[in-house]
Amino acid sequence: MSRIGKKPVSLPQGVTASVNGQTVTAKGPKGELKFVVNDEVLVKMENNEISVQPRDQTKVARAKWGMSRTQIVNILQGVKDGFEKKLEITGVGYRAAMQGKNLQLALGFSHDVVYETPQGITISVPKPTEITVSGIDKQQVGQVAAEIREYRGPEPYKGKGVRYADERIVRKEGKKK
Protein backbone atom coordinates (compact mmCIF):
# COMPACT_ATOMS: atom_id res chain seq x y z
CA MET A 1 0.00 0.00 0.00
CA SER A 2 1.24 3.44 -0.92
CA ARG A 3 1.05 5.73 2.10
CA ILE A 4 1.44 8.78 -0.11
CA GLY A 5 -1.07 7.57 -2.71
CA LYS A 6 -3.84 6.94 -0.16
CA LYS A 7 -4.14 10.63 0.80
CA PRO A 8 -6.51 12.68 -1.36
CA VAL A 9 -5.13 15.91 -2.85
CA SER A 10 -7.10 19.00 -1.82
CA LEU A 11 -7.10 22.00 -4.15
CA PRO A 12 -5.22 25.07 -2.87
CA GLN A 13 -6.96 28.45 -2.67
CA GLY A 14 -7.13 30.16 -6.08
CA VAL A 15 -6.49 27.00 -8.11
CA THR A 16 -9.05 25.24 -10.29
CA ALA A 17 -8.53 21.69 -11.50
CA SER A 18 -10.41 19.32 -13.75
CA VAL A 19 -10.10 15.61 -14.43
CA ASN A 20 -10.94 14.50 -17.98
CA GLY A 21 -10.32 10.78 -18.33
CA GLN A 22 -6.63 10.32 -17.47
CA THR A 23 -5.71 14.02 -17.90
CA VAL A 24 -5.52 16.34 -14.89
CA THR A 25 -5.55 20.05 -15.78
CA ALA A 26 -4.76 22.77 -13.24
CA LYS A 27 -5.18 26.53 -13.67
CA GLY A 28 -3.85 29.08 -11.24
CA PRO A 29 -2.41 32.59 -10.96
CA LYS A 30 0.95 31.52 -12.47
CA GLY A 31 -0.45 29.62 -15.47
CA GLU A 32 -1.84 26.27 -16.58
CA LEU A 33 -0.34 22.76 -16.43
CA LYS A 34 -1.53 19.33 -17.55
CA PHE A 35 -0.50 15.86 -16.41
CA VAL A 36 -1.56 12.63 -18.10
CA VAL A 37 -1.89 9.91 -15.46
CA ASN A 38 -0.68 6.40 -16.34
CA ASP A 39 -3.40 3.91 -17.40
CA GLU A 40 -2.54 1.66 -14.44
CA VAL A 41 -3.96 4.32 -12.08
CA LEU A 42 -7.53 5.60 -11.73
CA VAL A 43 -7.98 9.31 -10.90
CA LYS A 44 -11.25 10.90 -9.68
CA MET A 45 -12.34 14.35 -8.50
CA GLU A 46 -14.89 14.61 -5.68
CA ASN A 47 -15.68 17.50 -3.28
CA ASN A 48 -12.72 19.68 -4.41
CA GLU A 49 -10.35 16.76 -3.81
CA ILE A 50 -8.50 14.59 -6.31
CA SER A 51 -8.12 10.95 -5.30
CA VAL A 52 -5.80 8.44 -6.93
CA GLN A 53 -6.34 4.65 -6.84
CA PRO A 54 -4.55 1.75 -8.53
CA ARG A 55 -6.78 -0.08 -11.04
CA ASP A 56 -5.62 -3.45 -9.70
CA GLN A 57 -3.10 -4.77 -7.17
CA THR A 58 -0.28 -5.51 -9.63
CA LYS A 59 3.23 -4.41 -8.77
CA VAL A 60 3.33 -1.92 -11.69
CA ALA A 61 0.04 -0.26 -10.67
CA ARG A 62 1.13 0.08 -7.05
CA ALA A 63 4.46 1.55 -8.16
CA LYS A 64 2.78 4.27 -10.27
CA TRP A 65 0.17 5.10 -7.62
CA GLY A 66 2.22 7.32 -5.27
CA MET A 67 4.18 8.86 -8.14
CA SER A 68 0.96 9.92 -9.88
CA ARG A 69 -0.36 11.60 -6.74
CA THR A 70 2.95 13.44 -6.23
CA GLN A 71 2.91 14.67 -9.86
CA ILE A 72 -0.62 16.04 -9.32
CA VAL A 73 0.50 17.82 -6.12
CA ASN A 74 3.45 19.30 -8.05
CA ILE A 75 1.29 20.75 -10.84
CA LEU A 76 -1.13 22.23 -8.28
CA GLN A 77 1.71 23.82 -6.34
CA GLY A 78 3.39 24.99 -9.56
CA VAL A 79 0.37 26.92 -10.88
CA LYS A 80 -0.16 28.51 -7.45
CA ASP A 81 3.37 29.39 -6.23
CA GLY A 82 5.86 28.11 -8.80
CA PHE A 83 9.22 26.49 -8.11
CA GLU A 84 12.70 27.90 -7.70
CA LYS A 85 16.24 26.49 -7.63
CA LYS A 86 19.25 28.51 -6.55
CA LEU A 87 22.75 27.84 -7.85
CA GLU A 88 26.03 29.22 -6.51
CA ILE A 89 29.28 29.69 -8.41
CA THR A 90 32.59 29.28 -6.57
CA GLY A 91 36.01 29.97 -8.07
CA VAL A 92 38.31 32.82 -9.01
CA GLY A 93 37.02 34.48 -12.18
CA TYR A 94 33.89 32.29 -12.31
CA ARG A 95 30.78 34.41 -12.84
CA ALA A 96 27.40 34.57 -14.52
CA ALA A 97 25.54 37.35 -16.31
CA MET A 98 22.32 37.67 -18.28
CA GLN A 99 22.76 38.57 -21.95
CA GLY A 100 19.22 39.34 -23.13
CA LYS A 101 17.31 36.11 -22.49
CA ASN A 102 20.47 33.97 -22.46
CA LEU A 103 22.69 33.13 -19.49
CA GLN A 104 26.39 33.78 -20.05
CA LEU A 105 28.76 31.81 -17.82
CA ALA A 106 32.51 32.37 -17.37
CA LEU A 107 33.67 29.06 -15.89
CA GLY A 108 37.39 28.98 -16.54
CA PHE A 109 37.17 27.73 -20.12
CA SER A 110 38.83 29.54 -23.02
CA HIS A 111 35.35 30.71 -24.06
CA ASP A 112 32.18 31.84 -22.28
CA VAL A 113 29.36 29.31 -22.09
CA VAL A 114 26.02 30.68 -23.35
CA TYR A 115 22.89 28.87 -22.12
CA GLU A 116 19.61 29.60 -23.92
CA THR A 117 16.67 29.94 -21.55
CA PRO A 118 13.89 27.48 -22.48
CA GLN A 119 10.22 28.47 -22.82
CA GLY A 120 8.44 28.72 -19.44
CA ILE A 121 11.62 29.21 -17.39
CA THR A 122 12.93 32.44 -15.88
CA ILE A 123 16.62 32.76 -15.03
CA SER A 124 17.87 35.68 -12.97
CA VAL A 125 21.34 36.62 -11.71
CA PRO A 126 21.05 38.73 -8.52
CA LYS A 127 24.85 38.59 -7.98
CA PRO A 128 27.59 37.47 -10.39
CA THR A 129 28.02 34.31 -8.28
CA GLU A 130 24.33 33.43 -7.85
CA ILE A 131 21.81 32.07 -10.36
CA THR A 132 18.09 31.63 -9.70
CA VAL A 133 16.05 29.34 -11.95
CA SER A 134 12.27 29.60 -11.56
CA GLY A 135 9.15 28.37 -13.33
CA ILE A 136 5.86 26.54 -12.82
CA ASP A 137 6.97 23.05 -13.92
CA LYS A 138 9.05 21.39 -11.19
CA GLN A 139 10.62 18.86 -13.55
CA GLN A 140 11.67 21.53 -16.05
CA VAL A 141 13.12 23.81 -13.33
CA GLY A 142 15.19 20.93 -11.97
CA GLN A 143 16.33 19.91 -15.45
CA VAL A 144 17.49 23.44 -16.35
CA ALA A 145 19.35 23.77 -13.03
CA ALA A 146 21.03 20.39 -13.62
CA GLU A 147 22.06 21.39 -17.16
CA ILE A 148 23.64 24.63 -15.88
CA ARG A 149 25.43 22.73 -13.09
CA GLU A 150 26.69 20.17 -15.60
CA TYR A 151 28.90 22.72 -17.39
CA ARG A 152 31.31 22.80 -14.43
CA GLY A 153 30.18 20.71 -11.45
CA PRO A 154 31.85 21.26 -8.08
CA GLU A 155 35.21 19.54 -7.76
CA PRO A 156 36.17 17.92 -4.44
CA TYR A 157 39.60 19.50 -3.81
CA LYS A 158 38.94 23.26 -3.88
CA GLY A 159 35.14 23.21 -4.31
CA LYS A 160 35.29 25.25 -7.52
CA GLY A 161 32.37 25.09 -9.93
CA VAL A 162 28.59 25.46 -10.05
CA ARG A 163 26.62 23.90 -7.20
CA TYR A 164 23.11 24.00 -5.77
CA ALA A 165 22.70 26.47 -2.89
CA ASP A 166 21.75 23.70 -0.44
CA GLU A 167 24.35 21.20 -1.72
CA ARG A 168 27.16 20.10 0.57
CA ILE A 169 30.40 19.17 -1.17
CA VAL A 170 32.49 16.42 0.41
CA ARG A 171 36.01 17.80 0.27
CA LYS A 172 39.11 15.66 -0.24
CA GLU A 173 42.51 16.21 1.23
CA GLY A 174 45.29 17.18 -1.15
CA LYS A 175 48.45 15.24 -1.92
CA LYS A 176 50.92 14.77 0.94
CA LYS A 177 54.70 14.84 0.69
pLDDT tops 90 at residue 2: no
pLDDT in tens, 26-39: 999 998 999 999 88
Please determine whether the domains at 3-80 and 83-164 fall in the same fold group of CATH.
yes
CATH class of segment(s) 83-164 = alpha beta
Beta bridge partners of 161: 90
Q: What is the DSSP string of the chain?
A: --HHHHSPEEPPTT-EEEEETTEEEEE-SS-EEEEE--TTEEEEEETTEEEEEESSS-HHHHHHHHHHHHHHHHHHHHHHT-EEEEEEEESTT-EEEEETTEEEEE-SSSS-EEEEPPTTEEEE-SSTTEEEEEES-HHHHHHHHHHHHHHSPPPTTT--EEEETT-----------
Q: How far lies 105's CA from each of 23, 108, 131, in Å?
A: 39, 9, 10
pLDDT category at 1 given cuts 50, 70, 90 is: low
Res 130: pLDDT = 95
pLDDT tops 90 at residue 62: no
Average pLDDT for 69-76? 92
- Given the candidates 1.10.10.10, 3.90.930.12, 3.40.630.30, 3.40.50.300, the CATH classification of the domain at 3-80 is 3.90.930.12
Q: Are 2 and 70 in contact (CB under 8 A)?
A: no
Domain coordinates in residue numbering, the chain: 3-80, 83-164
Count of all residues that appear for the chain in the document? 177
Res 140: pLDDT = 94
Q: What SS3 state is found at 3?
A: helix
Dist. CA 124–CA 130, nearest whole Å: 9
